[in-house]
Chain A
Amino acid sequence: DTAVSQTPKYLVTQMGNDKSIKCEQNLGHDTMYWYKQDSKKFLKIMFSYNNKELIINETVPNRFSPKSPDKAHLNLHINSLELGDSAVYFCASSSGRAPTGYTFGSGTRLTVV
């Protein structure tokens, strides 16, 4: 009965490929996010999205794009993967109406070779 689920958990791919990471939440939350955790464990917001607004961290390369088919899903698509994209990517969700804690997925470890 996972609240925020991400697939795949591990992804190994070659430079230059395009890949997607899927995220689904069953909490009824109205806002979803993508965070990147680098090799030094530093966590940084990439995107915040609800059905009205997409907020993009200006440091995120435009090779990264969020895609939301509906309120419960926010997928991350990455074009032309680079070695520096290797990291753990976390999806999360929250309710904007009641700013309690965020619920995170278990993360996707992306390795670009």
Chain B
Amino acid sequence: AQSVAQPEDQVNVAEGNPLTVKCTYSVSGNPYLFWYVQYPNRGLQFLLKYITGDNLVKGSYGFEAEFNKSQTSFHLKKPSALVSDSALYFCAVRDMGTYKYIFGTGTRLKVLA
């Protein structure tokens, strides 16, 4: 079965510093991977996705993610964090056989001023 794991419940980073939010996956076949962000009392918003091609994927709000097949990881990164980046981040994988999207448990990012 397809699954994703987000090993960190919370990540704290100082404003202006680079940030990384970790995600590892387990899939059969080629992985279709996604990152979403959720602000308080809102729905999830799409940030970026990896389908195929370049291992470094660029997305919204200056975020990017690095796909690493050998480590089965898809970590979310940003070179310089903003206080406004503070939110809940979810990694997800799409099961191509059933069209289900499976989500991780989420990582709360706190950017400190």
A, B: real partners: no
Residues of chain A whose beta carbon lies under 8 Å from any beta carbon of chain B: none
Residues of chain B whose beta carbon lies under 8 Å from any beta carbon of chain A: none
